[in-house]
Amino acid sequence: MRKGRQSPEVIALKSIWPALIFAGVWLQFEETGRHLPLPVGYAYGLLGIIGLVTLVRARLALRRPNSRLLRYAPILDAILLALAIRFTGGIRSELWLFYYFMLIAGAMDPRPGTIELIAPLVLVSYVSATIPRFSQWDWQIIETAGTRLFFLFLASLLTRQVGLVRSRLSDELGHLSEQLTLSQERNRIAREIHDGIGHSLVNCILTLELSERLVSKDPEEARKIIQQELADLREALEDMRDYVHHLRPADIENESMVTLVQRYVARFADRTGLTVNMDVKDCCPNLPPSSRLVLLRIIQESLTNSVKHSEATEVNIYLAETSDGGAHCVIRDNGCGFDDEAVLKDPGSRQGFGLRTMIDRAAGVGGDVQIESVPDEGTTVTVTIPG
């Protein structure tokens, strides 16, 4: 199973569960009930409601990570926490420590302006929850509230710096990852040109030298050899055009995923005569160039396998966007199929090497490839690339 990248919202919500469990255990102690301003049963009911709300928000964060409701959920958290502090002792309540959790969760959220919203929200919420009546003001209250506000303010500054550094390092890592992927792809194509087209040209030269010697002795045989070499040279020329096309990173960076797939599939179908049916949605506008390149290479490898190994006459391609902004692609052919487990385990199999390469490519960007094939029943390749 693929392990997708979780959003900071999901990670933060998962961290609430240990706190709820601790609170449930804490309420079991008899001494705890004496200090609560409300019956223990009501406290358990409140914990149950918080758990249900947390579960709903976690589900929403998984399905719709960019939901506006999640964006402004900290406002509701701050209001509820302020009320809880007010009803559990005000300045004497220890629930104010949960504000640190809000600040840290805000620093983890990469969306712009999140920590700028949460930091002042925390300060206002705590002051509103703990400020006593004027007749109750004394130096101890001022010292306690002032000290806590100071550390909350300091924590907001630190979490802001952590968030900025984390965002900058994430951007740099993403850029380096894309450059590494493109560099590895160029090196791979360079090797394929050397091992494939290079060897074809060497063989062509040797064969033409043989034909030169045969012209005077057996002209008909020489003509057949030359015709065969012309066909091989035309195929090498098509391969060279594909390689040159693949070495244009500007297309991958600037054009949409749909356009890249449609263009390649059209050229492949024209060249091979393969019938390709496409169900491609307008999707994946925010997919990184490195992930686009990986998905395109997997589609290319799947189509090549369908023609060379499966001897398919028809391929169906489905491409759509996932809930996290990634890509989900299914390539299904009507070829002869194969024993997928045996081929993948055979280190000497050229087809197995190509399949393992597809799996490794997807894993490099956090994605997953599932290959299902049965002899005489065709092959299905399912690709999932996270956003």
- Domains in the chain (CATH in brackets) are 8-175 (no CATH), 256-387 (3.30.565.10)
Does pTM surpass 0.75?
A: no
Residue 330 confidence class, pLDDT cut points 50, 70, 90: very high
List the single range of 32-41, 180-189, 309-318 with lowest mean pLDDT: 32-41
Name the one residue in this structure whose structure tokens are 């791979």: 188
pLDDT digits (tens, 9 = 90+) for 335-351: 888 877 777 776 655 66
List the single range of 20-34, 111-125, 239-253 with lowest mean pLDDT: 239-253
Residue 260 token pair: 């890249």
- 147 compared with 43, residue with greater pLDDT: 147
Q: Please determine, for residue 3, whether its predicted confidence score (pLDDT) is greater than 50.
A: no
The pLDDT assigned to 77 comes to 82
b/e per residue 313-349 (b: at least 16 CB within 10 A):
eebbbebebeebebbbbbbbbbbebbebeebbeeeeb
Q: Please determine, for residue 263, whether its predicted confidence score (pLDDT) is greater than 90.
A: no
The identity of residue 296, as a single letter, is L
Name the one residue in this structure whose structure tokens are 């902004």: 325
Let me know: does 68 contact 76? Beta carbons within 8 Å: no
Please give the order of strands across the beta sheet that includes 275-280.
275-280, 314-321, 327-333, 379-385, 368-373
b/e per residue 41-80 (b: at least 16 CB within 10 A):
eebeeebeebeebbeebbebbbeebeeeebeebbeebbee
* CA-wise closest residue to 105 among 35, 173, 54, 171: 54
CA distance 332 to 96: 56
- 326 compared with 191, residue with greater pLDDT: 326
Mean pLDDT of the chain: 76
The pLDDT assigned to 339 comes to 79
The pLDDT assigned to 1 comes to 33
pLDDT digits (tens, 9 = 90+) for 164-214: 787 788 778 777 776 776 677 677 666 666 656 666 677 677 777 778 777
Residues in the chain: 387
- 137 compared with 90, residue with greater pLDDT: 90
The pLDDT assigned to 332 comes to 92
